[in-house]
Structure 1
Amino acid sequence: MSHANAALTPRARARLARLIVDDGWSPTTAARMFMVSPNTARKWAERYRAEGVAGMADRSSRPRQCPSKTPQKVVRRIVSLRLRHRLGPVQIAGRLGVPASTVHAVLVRCRLNRLSRIDRVTGEAIRRYEHDHPGSLIHVDVTKFGNIPDGGGHRYLGREQGGKNRRSTAQRTGQRTLHRSPRLGRGYVHTVIDDHSRIAYAEIHADEKATTATAVLRRAVAWFAERGIAVERVLSDNGSAYRSRLWAHACAELGIKAKRIRPYRPQTNGKIERFHRTLAEEWAYARFYTSETQRRDALPQWLHFYNHHRPHSSTGGRPPVTRLTNLPEHHT
């Protein structure tokens, strides 16, 4: 590849070659004029005779053959072991009988050298995305939590005491299964999260029907609007509520484009799936609750902490609310 200080550019090579081939100069004399070696002059003259001016262009310095190159069959086996079993370079090298440095080089080329880039469930390489401004896309979903009996559940009190509290609560409420076992029911947490800022909105309901999900969407859009976020798209899974006509009509009225993930591919909606994990660890099961009412009363306070105070890794260690500028025309 020629550069600014190259002795011969493609144009100079052509002049050198013409002096030798067309004008009859000796390679030594022409080389002295262009301040290169006679061997270089002969090389360009021979190429000019064979290919003409087109032969003066730069060529790749990549070798035609590379005997030490890792075979593609070995590369495929390295990638397969990494994706399927999450093995490190030393373990893969021991299985395949190749140096660990070779395995590491292959993983770097394939961008698989860090396990954080591999999905823990499917083993596939993670492809991350993020919309460029708040409101461009919101994620919606529903997660379920079993209701806590009066006095506390088995997670903190143990199976025996938790079972007693469960039976006494079911006796008070009169809720039992078909087999007369005590039933406490579930709380359906409808969650909405902004793709860019990660700011979250959530409500607890007794079901996940289309009427409930649609009402949550309307209130969430209004809640986001109060914070200067105009929702443009909504992404959901393929649940019956999100495939209903009621949901489609609500999105049309709100001016939102409804999108659904590919079936059996929850990773596309991974941001809200990860939020559900945080919700469970830091709110639902974070401390001892003596009743379901106490846990539900704690949700608004925790959401405020999550949005305004809790550092988030995707926002550079700052709370999600720091990505909301609330400046008119800022993201247009």
Structure 2
Amino acid sequence: MSHRNARLTVHGRQLLVERVASGRPVAHVAAEMGISRATAHKWLRRWRAEGEPGLADRSSKPLTTPHRTPAAMEGRVCDLRRSRKLGPARIGPVLGLPASTVHRILTRHRLNRLAWMDRPTGTVIRRYERERPGELVHVDVKKLGRIPGGGHKVHGREAGRPIRGMGFDYLHSAVDDHSRLAYTEAHGDEKVATCAAFLTRAAAFFADHGITRIERVLTDNAWAYRKGLAWKRALADLGASGKLTRAYRPQTNGKVERFNRTLADEWAYQWPYTSNDERTAALADFLHTYNHHRCHTALGGQPPISRVNNPASQYT
């Protein structure tokens, strides 16, 4: 990207080339555009050698870095990070390096955030994303205590003690891996028939929003997903295959797990609801906001629906 005081952008360089190619002297064109003859000749040489791509900006990154920390030392920094989970301020004194240098090394190796690592093993978690909407849909169920006229968030810890026998709502959620488009229903159980019916309605919801085919459905190892005949029939009706996560590895199903957290923060505990019906009624508005208006960091600040409408886009 050109700096803010640059005399020539890519368009200006193309204009320079066109004027010189028409037969005008380089010095005259350079004076008109407010640049030196040396600069004009530099862009002309690049254009003659590389064509149009030669007029684009180049990286200012140096070809070599003689004073970069040796690879062996970087390896020791990474080993301490993985084995002892230490930060730059503690690794630096151990190895005799400034904390800022340790931080740059950890950033270079994508170890600067513990959230990016599997804490027990120190292995960097590999993030993945499917290439098109509908290629993989994550499905999960989250239990949420029912509200008997207001819990401790309304009445305080002492007065808001739970009433025995109120039970739970079971939030069945489906999230498209590529677009993060999400659909949720609240039910009174997580039995096979309920899960299968939810999947059918979720597929209809995705079809209404442009995802007409679901290829695979990823779930945890609950009995309904492993053994349920109604669930398998629902998958067959959609022409989709079922896939199970590895046991005790919620990262595999991480997109819907993260959506469950957002669901709790921005809907379930967003307001001091006075009844279960009031909270359930607010679910539809939350889903519309999440899918159509809420900025998503993994999508370059765009809502999920934007990726359904333009699946070829790659956000960074």
* TM-score > 0.5, shorter chain as reference: yes
User: 1:110 and 2:109 equivalent?
Assistant: yes
Tell me, in whole angstroms, the C-alpha distance in 2 between the residues paired with 1:318 and 1:104. 30
User: 1:291 and 2:289 equivalent?
Assistant: no
Indicate the larger mover: 208-217 or 88-97.
Answer: 88-97
AA aligned to 1:256 is A
User: 1:228 and 2:210 equivalent?
Assistant: yes
8 Å Cα contact 1:199-1:307 kept in structure 2:
yes
Q: C-alpha displacement at 1:91, in angstroms?
A: 1.3
2:94 aligns with 95
Tell me, in whole angstroms, the C-alpha distance in 2 between the residues paired with 1:309 and 1:106. 37
Secondary structure of the residue aligned to 1:198 is: coil
Q: 1:298 to 1:232 in 2, by over 3 A?
A: same
Tell me, in whole angstroms, the C-alpha distance in 1 between the residues paired with 2:276 and 2:83. 41
Q: How does 1:1-332 map to 2 (within 5 A)?
A: 69=70, 71=72, 75-76=75-76, 78-83=77-82, 86-100=85-99, 103-104=102-103, 106-115=105-114, 117-118=116-117, 123-150=122-149, 152-163=150-161, 166-167=162-163, 182-229=164-211, 230-246=213-229, 247-325=231-309
Q: 1:106 to 1:218 in 2, by over 3 A?
A: same
AA aligned to 1:211 is A
Q: C-alpha displacement at 1:318, in angstroms?
A: 1.3
**How many residue pairs get matched?**
244
Tell me, in whole angstroms, the C-alpha distance in 2 between the residues paired with 1:228 and 1:324. 7
Tell me, in whole angstroms, the C-alpha distance in 1 between the residues paired with 2:84 and 2:295. 32
Q: Percent identity?
A: 53
Q: C-alpha displacement at 1:88, in angstroms?
A: 2.4
Q: C-alpha displacement at 1:109, in angstroms?
A: 4.8
What TM-score comes out, normalization by structure 1 length? Answer: 0.66
Deviations 1:20-44 (A, max 9, x none): xxxxxxxxxxxxxxxxxxxxxxxxx
Tell me, in whole angstroms, the C-alpha distance in 2 between the residues paired with 1:101 and 1:202. 44
Tell me, in whole angstroms, the C-alpha distance in 1 between the residues paired with 2:107 and 2:151. 48
Structure 1 unaligned runs (5+)? 1-67, 168-181
AA aligned to 1:217 is L
Q: 1:160 to 1:108 in 2, by over 3 A?
A: closer
Deviations 1:193-217 (A, max 9, x none): 1111111001111111111111100
Q: C-alpha displacement at 1:104, in angstroms?
A: 4.2
Q: 1:101 to 1:203 in 2, by over 3 A?
A: closer
8 Å Cα contact 1:227-1:326 kept in structure 2:
no
Deviations 1:190-246 (A, max 9, x none): 000111111100111111111111110011111111222111111111111110242
Q: C-alpha displacement at 1:156, in angstroms?
A: 2.6
Secondary structure of the residue aligned to 1:208 is: coil
Deviations 1:110-154 (A, max 9, x none): 33234553357875412111111111110000001111111x111
Q: C-alpha displacement at 1:162, in angstroms?
A: 1.3
Secondary structure of the residue aligned to 2:141 is: strand
Secondary structure of the residue aligned to 1:158 is: helix
Secondary structure of the residue aligned to 2:237 is: helix
Secondary structure of the residue aligned to 1:303 is: helix
Tell me, in whole angstroms, the C-alpha distance in 2 between the residues paired with 1:223 and 1:159. 39
Larger radius of gyration: 1
Q: 1:159 to 1:111 in 2, by over 3 A?
A: closer
